[in-house]
Amino acid sequence: MSPEGSRPAPRSLFEKLWDRHLVKAETPETPAMLYIDLHLVHEVTSPQAFSVLAERGLKVRRPDRTLATIDHSTPTLDFAPGETPPYATEAARHQVETLQANTKAQGITLHGWDSPHRGVVHVIGPELGATQPGMTIVCGDSHTATHGAFGALAFGIGTTEVGHVLATQCLLQRKPKSMRINVEGETAPGISAKDIILAIIAEIGVDGGTGCVIEYAGSAIKALDMDGRMTVCNMSIEAGARAGMIAADETTFAWLKGRERVPSGADWDKAVEAWSNYRSDPGAHFDKEVTIDASAIQPMVTWGTAPDTGIAVDAPVPDARSASHAKALNYMKFEAGMPVSGQKVDQVFIGSCTNSRITDLRAAAAIMSGRQVAPGVRALVVPGSVAVRAQAEAEGLDRIFIEAGAEWRQPGCSMCIAMNGDKGEPGQLIVSTSNRNFEGRQGPGARTVLASPATAAAAAIAGHVINPATLMEPAHA
Amino acid sequence: MPEQFNTLTSRTFVIDQEDIDTDQIIPARFLTTTTRDGLGKLAFHDWRYDSNGKPLENVSLNSLDTGTHQVLVAGRNFGCGSSREHAPWALYDFGFRAVIASEIADIFRSNSAKNGLVPIVAPPEAHDWLMAHPDVEIEIDLADQRVDLGNGPSFHFEIEPFAKHCLMEGTDPLGYLTAQSDAITAYET
Ligand code: SF4
């Protein structure tokens, strides 16, 4: 394109990170070998990988680049120091103990029961400053794209690949396609990052990003704080994407400064200088590009059993366009033509790697403050990490939740995946700040409506799905 | 290690549904396992059993003979959702050796190929034909990347060459990676 034809071709953020981490370029026969800067590990997708290493007599190549925590199978109920955690099943206990043994044997840092940084893997990586711009990051978990919010290239991988990275610190990958989603303009007051990403997925579909690394850009993305950017990148997989990312900027640097694992002093300045180069050049090529009007985004909820069924909370549920839509409507017991607002709610879940950070809890607390959870509704507030929980308690948010009648839990994945005992019952309607509304995701037969922390909190108070704008004025004491 | 895959002649089993996610293939509450064995009985668990764990009688998956039916045919976007490798482990252990859909989610496709389950994306016409003709005998030739549909049209499919190599050899790529340790050391220094 350039008239001189001699300048280096403009590259996207994704291409820069891809090129920088090539141990071996791809050939027709073999995928590229990418070096991985940070490998996050949790109890569910790692045991079989450690077993393979043991069978083959291999050691973990870079324990210093590997970081583990326990989150999926862990109970969120209180227990006294020295007591055995109240695991839902023996299998859950065994799984956690297996990770404890594996990390100990291999010299890997584990943020386990005694750590002030235990928590959902995608919450603690950034919180510790282990997640940094320019890195390649993987985890045996599809929501690893969360870390892309820091200008990192972060992939969710399978357990076999967890083994590959443990043994060699490398991942085999064909170069994905690239896609840029520009969210331009200003969002209306009270619209959160969750509403933005639900609107994006509704626009492009559950397979709209398949095969792609998505870069989110535009004024509405730049305006988001880091928690909001993580919420957006987190749900990239819900559009089928391999990864999602946002270029690092002043907001990123300010958030990271002073965290445990980031450089300090003169090294910090050098790091920021290097990080500042990780952004897409003007004219960089993207295989696909989409622009979304931020000003049109309303508080979103899902009506179906796939995350691309987001609609404005007061908008009518659309007519079934396909057999799977009809099946979803039937499962959800929703009627086309009626809005989701007004639907009676049984449980509310505020938590998960999508929405369990401090700003999420503040948004929920702002709605619940001085109000009561509706009779018959169970509301669970599950902070993303021990540190988030401590911060919330320092701000008095726990009092607000408890006085409103919500349950203030210990950190973990909890009802996002319902494998630790926290779950919905058949037929129950759950308004959830998590990322998946698949059939049975939150318990067999449980029906999930995905929403923002404000919308979820409002549902808890009203006892039915409701536009949170109606509760955004403080309650009268 | 999975068996080597070369050619397969088998009947198809059709699930006429799009967006079958990994929570359907194996519900999350069964992920507390620390091995990869014996997950076949949990495949599509919540479709196959009632709330007391009793097999449902009118569900054809419960009477399916995977001696004769080793090819699963499903709608668009099969395997979307989580990265859990338990999904292909469960399908393989259940007895499936190939999945055909008009679109297969990325991570699931990559996980399948490492575990002896051949992921096949069929072109729309052939996919429509397969959906409209449940329970037909087909032949999959992995070396040729071709599926013969008996009295239907045959079609060519794409598969990543290294994934194909691993499926045909019945290996996973760990050996290949560990053999590159010099290149890794060079990168690290
Ligand atoms: S919070 Fe939910 S989506 Fe996030 S890592 Fe845990 S189970 Fe997965």
User: Which CATH number fits the domain that encloses residue A198?
Assistant: 3.40.1060.10
Tell whether A337 and A196 lie within a shared domain: no
What span, in angstroms and rounded, lies between the C-alpha atoms of A418 and A58? 34
Q: Confirm if B14 and B131 have CB atoms less than 8 A apart.
A: yes
User: Rounded to whole angstroms, how far apart are CA atoms B60 and B27?
Assistant: 19
Strands, sheet with A109-111, edge to edge from the N-terminal-most edge strand: A109-111, A66-69, A38-41, A136-139, A153-156
Token pair of A277, please? 């180069």
C-beta A73 within 6 A of ligand 1 = no
CA B81 to ligand 1 centroid distance, Å: 11
The angle subtended at Cα A299 by Cα A474 and Cα A409, nearest 5°, is 65
Kindly state whether residue A73 falls inside one of the protein's structural domains. Answer: yes
The three-state secondary structure class of A172 is strand
User: For atom 2 of ligand 1, which residue has the closest CA?
Assistant: A416
**pLDDT on residue A28:** 96
Same domain, A43 and A146: yes
Query: Are A158 and A37 found together in one domain?
Result: yes
Note the residue count of chain B: 189
Predicted local confidence at residue A5, as pLDDT = 58
The amino acid sitting at A156 is G
Contact B107 A157 (CB under 8 A): yes
Tokens (6 digits) for A111: 């943020």
What 3-state class would DSSP assign to A155?
strand
By Cβ distance, the residue of B77, B82, B114 closest to A206 is B77
Higher confidence at residue B81 or residue A221? A221
> Which residue matches tokens 């490398």?
A170
Which of A40, A72, A139, A230 most suits a substitution to test ligand 1, by most atoms within 8 Å of the C-beta? A72
B contacts of A323 (beta carbons < 8 Å): 16-18
Is there a contact between B51 and A426 if contact means CB atoms under 8 Å apart?
Answer: yes
Q: Per residue in A380-406, is it b (16+ CB within 10 Å) or e — as a string?
A: bbbbbbbbbbebbeeeebbebbeebbb
- Whether B175 shows a pLDDT value over 70: the answer reads yes
The phi and psi torsions of A214 (rounded to 5 degrees) equal: -95, 130
Tell me the angle at which helices A386-394 and A397-404 cross, rounded to the nearest 10 degrees.
90
The answer as to whether A375 is a domain residue is yes
pLDDT digits (tens), chain A, 477 positions: 445 556 789 999 999 999 999 999 999 999 999 999 999 999 999 999 999 999 999 999 999 999 999 999 999 999 998 899 999 999 999 999 999 999 999 999 999 999 999 999 999 999 999 999 999 999 999 999 999 999 999 999 999 999 999 999 999 999 999 999 999 999 999 999 999 999 999 999 988 999 999 999 999 999 999 999 999 999 999 999 999 999 999 999 999 999 999 999 999 999 999 999 999 999 999 999 999 999 999 999 999 999 999 999 999 999 998 888 999 999 999 999 999 999 999 999 999 999 999 999 999 999 999 999 999 999 999 999 999 999 999 999 999 999 999 999 999 999 999 999 999 999 999 999 999 999 999 999 999 999 999 999 999 999 999 999 999 888 875
- Side-chain-side CA neighbours of B102 within 13 Å: the count stands at 17
Residue A260, in any domain of the structure: no
**Is A189 found in the same domain as A317?**
no
- CB spacing of B180 vs A168 below 8 angstroms: yes
What residue type is assigned to position A444 of the chain? Answer: P
CB atoms within 10 A of CB A6: 6
- Does any ligand 1 atom lie closer than 6 A to the CB of residue A143? yes
In one letter, which amino acid is A430? Answer: I
- Among A235, A266, A295, the domain boundary falls at A295
CA dihedral A172, A352, A207, A199 (to 10 degrees): -140
Check pocket membership of A234 for ligand 1, CB cut-off 6 A.
no
Atom of ligand 1 nearest to the CA of A352: 1
Ligand 1 site-directed mutation target among A69, A349, A352, most atoms within 8 Å of CB: A352
- Tell me, yes or no, whether A256 lies in a domain: no
What distance in angstroms lies between residue A277's CA and the mean position of ligand 1's atoms? 31
Same domain, A168 and A181: no
Domain hosting residue A348, numbered range: 300-471
A232 and A370 housed in the same domain? no
A283 and A306 together in one domain? no
Cα–Cα dist A45/A433, whole Å = 23
Asked if residue A199 is part of any domain, the answer here is yes
Confirm or reject contact between A31 and chain B (CB < 8 A): yes
Of A23, A95, A167, the CB nearest to B174: A167
Rounded CA separation A357/A334 (Å): 31
Cα–Cα distance for residue pair A436/B82, rounded to 1 Å: 9
One domain, residues A58 and A206: no
Query: A163 alpha carbon to ligand 1 midpoint, in Å?
Result: 20
Write down the number of H helices and E strands in chain B.
8, 7
Do residue B103 and residue A419 have CB atoms under 8 angstroms apart?
A: no
Same domain, A97 and A168: yes
Cβ A145 vs Cβ A209: under 8 Å: no
Question: What is the A295 CA–ligand 1 centroid distance (Å)?
Answer: 30
Residue bearing tokens 């065994």: A94
Nearest Cα of chain B lies from the Cα of A389 at a distance, in angstroms, of 25
pLDDT at A1: 47
> Model pTM?
0.95
Dist CA A141 CA A158 (whole Å): 7
Task: Supply the CATH number for residue A147's domain.
Answer: 3.30.499.10
Nearest CA-CA distance, residue B155 and chain A, Å: 22
Give per-residue pLDDT as tens, B98-152.
999 999 999 999 999 999 999 999 999 999 999 999 999 999 999 999 999 987 7
Of A139, A173, A207, the one marking the end of a domain is A173
Residue whose C-alpha is closest to residue A37's, from A211, A181, A213, A155? A155
Question: Can you give the residue ranges of every domain in chain B?
Answer: 7-188
Q: How crowded is the C-beta side of A157, counted as CA atoms within 13 Å? A: 28
- Answer whether B184 touches A (CB < 8 Å): yes
Q: Are residues A184 and A108 in the same domain?
A: no
The residues near A314 (Cβ < 8 Å, ≥ 6 apart) are A298, A339, A341, A467
Instruction: Identify the three-state secondary structure at position B165.
Output: helix
Closest-CA residue of chain A to B111: A158
Question: To 10 degrees, the CA torsion angle through B179, B184, B185, B187?
Answer: 150
| Residues A202 and A313 reside in one and the same domain | no
Among the partner residues A167, A210, A438, nearest to B177 by beta-carbon distance: A167
Instruction: Please give the distance, rounded to the nearest whole angstrom, from the Cα atom of residue A357 to the centre of ligand 1.
Output: 13
Chain A residue with minimum CA distance to B18: A324
Q: What one-character DSSP code corresponds to residue A24? A: E
Given CB atoms, is A140 within the 8 Å cutoff of chain B? Answer: yes
Q: What is the percent of chain B with per-residue pLDDT over 90, rounded to a whole number?
A: 90
Residue A398 in tokens: 């726990």
Quote the CA–CA distance of A290 and A403 in Å, as a whole number. Answer: 44
Helix H segments across B7-151?
22-25, 45-48, 86-94, 106-113, 124-132
Chain A residues with CB-CB distance to B77 below 8 A:
206-207, 210, 240
Copy the structure tokens of residue A285: 């090529």
The answer to whether B115 contacts chain A (CB < 8 Å) is: yes
Which of A409, A413, A432, A441 is the best mutation target for the ligand 1 pocket, counting ligand atoms within 8 Å of the beta carbon and taking the most? Answer: A413
**pLDDT per residue over A254-299, tens digit each?**
999 999 999 999 999 999 999 999 999 999 999 999 999 999 999 9
**Residues A151 and A245 both lie in one domain:** no
**Per-residue pLDDT tens over the stretch A32-78:** 999 999 999 999 999 999 999 999 999 999 999 999 999 999 999 99
Q: Identify whether A144 is part of a domain.
A: yes
Q: Using an 8 Å Cβ cutoff, are A377 and A460 in contact? A: yes
Give the domain-ending residue among A148, A173, A198: A173
- What is the tally of structural domains in chain A? 3
Q: Just give the CATH number of B7-188.
A: 3.20.19.10
Does B37 contact chain A (CB < 8 Å)? no
CB contact under 8 A, A170 and B107: no
